[in-house]
Structure 1
Amino acid sequence: METDGAFMHSHMFLLTGVRPLDACMGESGTGRPDGPGNVTDRTIQQAAADNERCSIAIFTEEPGTMDLDGVSVSLNQGSAIQLRPGSRYCMVNVDGRRAGWLIEFLTCRVGNSSSVAGGFPLLPYHREIPVSPVTALCAIVERLSRASGPPDEPAALRRQAALLELLALLMESQQRSHRLSDAAGAVQLTVAYVKEHFTEPLTVVQLASIAGVGRWQFSEQFRRLTGQRPLDYINTLRLNRAKELLLLTDDPLRDIAQSVGFRDEYYFNRRFSRMFGCGPKSYARFRKSGASKPHTAPAASFRDHQRSQAGPLRLIVYGGLLGDVLMLGNKPLGAALAVMGRQVVYRDKLDGIADIGITGETGAIAALRPDLILLEKEGNREICKESNIPVVSFKRTEDVTVRLRAIAALLGAEREADRWIAWHEQAAEGMWAALRSRIGTGETATVLVQIGERLFVMGNRGLAASLYHPRGFRPSDGAKQLVAEGERFREIAADELPDYDGDRLFLLVSGEASSKRKAHLLADSSAWRSLHAFRGGNIHLSEAKWNYDDSLTRERVLAELPHILAARI
């Protein structure tokens, strides 16, 4: 059997027709009468009956439905399908709009003018091929379908070159589609591998190599399967095992840390405290003693408190943790609402929560008599020094699902967190499936935030975390660098915009009309006009409130994303 390379070197391809795919209503054999620009059921069936002609339908302008030998197949915008020679098929499109083009060509052996029977053997028959990038597909089809100018030899040669580009793009897209399908199964095997070997030294590069996929693709697939990034998932397994060992043995912390896979005792201590709200020594001492009220207020005491008291924990919350706490069913006594309270998308849930200021007023906090204070970042512990109220801090760089589980452990709401994470993953899959016809496979995106005259590009946080989904967008090259370096965001100047250009740009501004006017002025500048996303009409404008990085905002983003995609500058 010839390899792909051998086939392409031993054959040549002659373009014979480029015709629009118009709607052909009804069953096969009942198409509209022939006319200029129409591909009717009868004319398509003639092409199908010709065993020497290759026919490929390209859906560049609309999704479409085809009847293939009596089987209805729905095809997305930005996809292609090779039609089997001799088969019966027609377009079925109820709205009557043009969906794309029918490309026809002959295949001949080099040195032989006779065409070869059969279609193009390097592409499957009657199977959708998602094409990426869609912009490249549209550009090639535009060159193929261009009818202006005299039919001279240079123009014919350019069309032949465009045909070869099209075949190469379809072959690459088909191979990529197979790799993505195979990658999910390979990554699933590495999840099982991690569960067996989490106490050993493991790296993302090593696991990606085991799966046989690229590091970025591996991390995204892993997060989709587990709800966590690979290293977070490994650390969760290690820390849960460490909890068991703390209760079962009296081994030194250094030995326990090393036995579960941590080389550094200090790092183990820090990760344990962040996940469970107390250090490993405090956790072991409290759980082994069976005391009803420990001196250090570890996470276990808060869970016991919730089970033993009539009401939930009395909380004070600072920063974006508020959305997570509300999601878990706990309404705090107070929160820093002076600025955030006017911006978040869940303002309807803030009634009854006292505003304790950005820096925290000690007297006001003490008057509320909270059990616990949650901080979004390290520092500012002086707000509770006088009242001696326990404090748990979380870094802003913490992944939302990891942070949600840690907060849930404090509140005794682990089941609620697990249910939300599972629901959110399923809901995101459904949303992206519904949006599939509106974005192309492999399209890239960048999220920009405008605050006054300053411009910021987001890493994998806020709205970007929802957009960068295996079924959604990939980060642009510039945004991918931020993600790889773990940066939440970076301030940039206008002349740096080309470094973050992608197929689409999402510009987030304040909800005030003046800021939106500034955004439109910015979009009219020369820096913006040079961008690929601007030239393609793919700059989407929305409000900065969708950039908060908490579970409650992410839940509501799923319903808002279709509207954000429709809002273009």
Structure 2
Amino acid sequence: MNDISGSQATALLSFLQSESFILKEGERVDIDCGRTSAFGFVLRESVHCLAENEAALFEAAVDEWFYVPHLSGFSIRNREVGTAEVLIIRFEESGALALGEQRTYSCRLPHSRMWAEAFAAAVDAPFESLPDVTRLTLQSHLYALTAAWLLRSKENEADGAKALLRLMERTYRLIGNRFNEPLNLEEMARESGVAASRFYQAFKEYTGFTPHKWITATRLNASLSLLSNSPASIMDVAHSVGYADELYFSRVFKKHMGLSPTEYVARANRRIANLCPVFEGDFKALGITPAFSPPRGWTERWQELMPRLRDAQPDIIFTQPVSEEILLELKHIAPVEMIIWKNSNLSWRDRLHRIGQLLELSGVADHWLTQFKLKAANARRLVQLALGHTPFLIVSAHSSGYRVYGRRAKKMSDLFYDALGLTSPAAVQQIRILDTERLEDISTLCDNALLLVPDTFSEWQESKLIADWNILHPNRAECLIIRHPVPSLYNASFYGGLVDETVSRLMEDEK
């Protein structure tokens, strides 16, 4: 007997018995393998199989095999009009083949019909009662069947991982689109054909949240804008975001936001004038739409703005640093909060905290930042899995050229190099910003690039940018395209969107 290298050398398989089950339309049979394992083969029609310990449902068609692990309950149901026939081949396994770790599914195996017919010929006959030649033949068929199954499992592993990613993306989008409806996660997991435990684990790997926590976060985030920007009652808002019980919604809201919906409404419905476009995404994170927001560059014609600002009757005005003359005029209209955000040590996170404190919504700001931290940690894990420690240049493409964000450009390096764990090239360690009109001018800094492009870019422009970069780096350069809204306003919503887009692109590449 030839040696088998590795841990499979001691693997032993012992055929025990073949059984045949005839199932008429609608009939079901339950199989208890106990301490034995089994392969199943569909001789006629097709059947639906359910591995009860995994809540995994799949269909096995005629001439397809499936595996039934030991210590598991397993049921087979005929949902077709005709009569189905299933062959069950029981055996004992020992050693390190790890068949029990295989995903439950069905598949065809080449040249395996003859094995099934040989096992079918021995139905209900105890192994000991069979002739020596038959026993040796069935034993050899069992090893051949197991080897073929393991080979097919390896081939299917990559496809299965990709299919699981697609399933998680669909589930993520479904929750985002239908969060206001009753969502039965257990049913979603069962219908997916994936074991319930794997379904929940995969969703958390994809999003950083469990499905239940993501539904709660999505519903609460949606409730903020409804509470602050509409005259709807708290009961109506609760129903609109998927909570049938207003009191339960209020409890969940207060647990996560640190204040009741009623308290939030009172504080968020103040009339806010936001004179700095950068702060817009911070207010959005708090669920607030300012009552007044002028266009960029308003300070150049600020006298024209004042009558409109007075008509808006703000309760509070938020602004970037302005001249003493403008500040005095603003203070005649409403209390003013002037926040220095450019060229200061105040990070966007600190700014969101400060705005939250000023509006007595610190709990809402903390909730958003906690969500961001979870998303960023998940994105960091995906970056490490997909890109490892490969250095990447951060390049922004725009209409007039390209901008490289070096290690000293905090607005981008804090997110991509620090929070998401992207490895920075040695050539940019002392660089802050490097602007150029030509891609060739920066191509020598690194072979790989994370390319930030406006969301107005067409697919053709995106493809051409990748092609141009690859031409400059013919030796297997990598490009990761990240889309962002225009203009690039460095606020909470902007950074949250970059993290979501990074995860989406990494997942897309995996598919």
TM-score greater than 0.5 by the shorter chain: no
Q: TM-score range by the shorter chain?
A: 0.3 to 0.5
Q: TM-score, normalised by structure 2?
A: 0.42
The higher radius of gyration belongs to: 2
* TM-score of the pair, normalised by structure 1: 0.38
